[in-house]
Structure 1
């Protein structure tokens, strides 16, 4: 894999690591430095890299630097992890934004092919378009989950920005997107036109209050995701001790870290991005961002790998008749998690075969027993039919 477009972490950070407790993350991870170059990725499970790009952000300021975020992350102690971590440094912004996109796409694709989960630290969230494009050659339809206060559908006829990249994902070829889910949207930040478009496309959207009232209900959403993006603007200003994003409402620190852990524990999530980082964020916001990283990696460490054929053979099967349908549920005897089967149509794109089991909750099963069809099952079935 080519790493020519990666720059090392700063010498100050390298020197800072030498002063840390030897049990901290910074003292244990593999680091890209000027002196040693890009580390050997043999045995690495998770690789972090920054992207110094925000030219398509509508509130663009100075080119983002992730030095303070890294400093806070390196100081943390790992859990009882059996993972190897690497920090690959930063992708500097290219001559054009498209050059940066290409570098991100190439690096993410290469890491995924090596079974390494990339964590992208980015400026404008339009970089998630490049994260998504990394799946173009991986021969799969993908589910995208976005933790954000806005849908970011925008106007697909205009140039891509951090508020319209999802629209570009929907309309631009190749068409790899199977489902898009917005977690934590706030209605007053989204036009009714966008809300209606989400419905017409059978996408999923969960309002902030709905998520925070029972955050555990989001676990099945992330269990079905392939890539996840997190907009730091989804965090309330008080939790980040910063008014940069200008919203008093949003996720608090515990909630955003719980969502990051759900993303990490998902067997399917193969890339994770944290976006809308700005240099104006203070120490507390950088500490929270570092803890978001920590919780995602904590989740990765506790994956149960229930996507394998052998694991699914052990699932307990339940059949629930509703009207003219028979809903088929499966429960893992290991984790206690639930899935619902979506009927596969043979005349539809064969890439969808891997989506025949849809993660759900025990509550979905209990409601089905009371003759209530889960809305997520209905949307997924309709998406399979069109």
Structure 2
């Protein structure tokens, strides 16, 4: 079974319209294994699914995230777009996990992320379990080289800094990145927004401290503390060359995101995330992004899928205005 699978026509759909008014009408399919030249001298965004929940299974979560990418596409396709005709939106298909071969899946994602960046496009990964961050980051690192500092900004309830002594999973990606940074003598820069104390044990806090992780706990991650939060983000942005953005849907309150592996009513709101995204995008340092942990098997009225689609929609439209 092939790990990489381009999409067939008919996947994207939405309201019928004579003009190019809806997102599904804007999307073109592409195959990363063919030598295809995308539109040059204009912004290009390439969607890539990570159809795997093996990392969640290993982390003893409730599985179903492998169905996340297709559900995000269904909701994103329905939205009206306001993008200039010159802006390219491509869908490169999915990275699949065959049986339990998670490490091969992460390596395949790494390869495709590098390929997208080499063509001057912005990768937008649709998840899928959060173990994709390891392959995603490595793909960016391979493109930028070790002389550039890549800052990771993660909206999440969890540090995902668990040790991978028993194998990679959805809770280990940033620990893996931190350890490889030590070996490569590169700087590990990690900002985590929305951390919940009741979702991280003492050992994880110790690992975060050892690796100089900057984080804001959920109690302060709200609009009442907006000025402080934006100041922290700007300070972090000033210390890096590029930003890799990852949004874990389980960080949101289950009022917004019931369809995740680890839901909680005590999560953060959409409003503070959108304010933070504006600051991150305005910096012009965002090189790649993903939205992870959508589990359609537990979603209610597709609300989590709609949230994921809306976040991607927001980021692409704000980036296109730069």
TM-score (norm 1): 0.69
The residue that corresponds to 1:92 in the other structure is: 96
1:253 to 240, 256, 270: 270
| Alignment map for 1:73-222 (pairs within 5 Å) | 73-79=76-82, 81=84, 83-94=87-98, 96-137=101-142, 138-139=144-145, 140-172=148-180, 173-212=183-222, 213-215=224-226, 217-218=229-230, 219-220=233-234, 221=236
The residue that corresponds to 1:320 in the other structure is: none
Separation in 2 of the partners of 1:124 and 1:186?
19
- Check conservation: 1:185, 1:208, Cα contact below 8 A: yes
Separation in 1 of the partners of 2:210 and 2:312?
34
The residue that corresponds to 1:52 in the other structure is: 51
Q: Deviations over 1:50-100 (max 9, x none)?
A: 011111212252432422321211121223556321111212224621221
Separation in 1 of the partners of 2:160 and 2:258?
25
- Check conservation: 2:246, 2:291, Cα contact below 8 A: yes
The residue that corresponds to 1:64 in the other structure is: 67
Separation in 2 of the partners of 1:53 and 1:230?
16
- Residue segments in structure 1 that go unaligned for 5+ positions in a row: 304-386
How far is 1:108 from its partner?
0.7
Structure 1 stretches of 4+ with a deviation exceeding 6 A read none
Separation in 2 of the partners of 1:98 and 1:229?
19
> Larger relative contact order (C-alpha < 8 A, sep ≥ 6)?
2
- Check conservation: 2:24, 2:78, Cα contact below 8 A: yes
- Check conservation: 1:6, 1:88, Cα contact below 8 A: no
The change in CA–CA distance for 1:262 and 1:77 in structure 2 (over 3 A counts) is farther
1:236 and 2:253 matched: yes
The residue that corresponds to 1:42 in the other structure is: 39
User: What value does the CA root-mean-square deviation take over the aligned residues?
Assistant: 2.7
The change in CA–CA distance for 1:85 and 1:222 in structure 2 (over 3 A counts) is farther
How far is 1:17 from its partner?
4.9
